[in-house]
Amino acid sequence: MNALVFVDTNVFLYTVDERDLPKQARAREWVRWCWTEATGRISTQVLNEFYNNAITKFRRVMPVQQARAQVRNLRQWQPPHLDTYVIDGAWALQDRYALSYWDALIVSSAQQQGCGYLLSEDLQHQQRYETVQVLNPFLVHPGDLPASEDV
């Protein structure tokens, strides 16, 4: 079995961004792999950020109703509700690593869900935040991940 992978908002946004087709293809590869392998994890923050960005930045390619349908589809990933553990964890990460609060919430949510990896272009590639390692999805392929027993 593969390690759990938390997918940041920017990866989902690239799946609909037609301005950079190579990144779109790689983002779609990652999302498809995370879904097929049942290793992908997200948070309600990711759903909300995706929706907001989709209807503001990508309205031409993703009208409101289509963005809402995409969010409904992503709910199948069963994101947990934001709770006090995620918030307290975010504050600790914010203090320890000088992360923005929003990035700290993403990392904390990944930690709370037991993810070994966080796919994000927004944080430094290969940076480790305790139990979670950041991977830039445009620098590595899904097949590059070791099996969970190797992690």
| Phi-psi sector, 114: left (phi>0), alpha (psi -120 to 50), beta | left
**With b meaning 16 or more CB within 10 Å and e meaning fewer, what string describes 87-97?**
eebbeebbeee
6-55 residue pLDDT tens: 999 999 999 999 899 999 999 999 999 999 999 999 999 999 999 999 99
**Domain coverage including residue 17:** 5-139
pLDDT of residue 148: 52
CATH of the domain at 17: 3.40.50.1010
pLDDT of residue 12: 97
pLDDT of residue 146: 74
pLDDT of residue 111: 97
Contact 61, 16 (CB under 8 A): yes
pLDDT of residue 147: 63
Assess if residue 35 is contained within a domain.
yes
pLDDT at residue 99 is higher than 90: yes
Percentage above 70 pLDDT, the chain: 95
Assess if residue 147 is contained within a domain.
no
Q: Is the pTM of the predicted complex or chain greater than 0.85? A: yes
70-87 residue pLDDT tens: 999 999 999 999 999 999
pLDDT band for 2, please (50, 70, 90 cuts).
Answer: low
How many structural domains compose the chain?
1
Assess if residue 145 is contained within a domain.
no
pLDDT at residue 89 is higher than 50: yes
Nearest alpha carbon to residue 75 among 44, 114, 49: 44
Assess if residue 151 is contained within a domain.
no
Assess if residue 48 is contained within a domain.
yes
Assess if residue 62 is contained within a domain.
yes
Assess if residue 61 is contained within a domain.
yes
Distance CA 111, CA 120 (A): 14
Assess if residue 119 is contained within a domain.
yes
Average pLDDT, the chain: 93
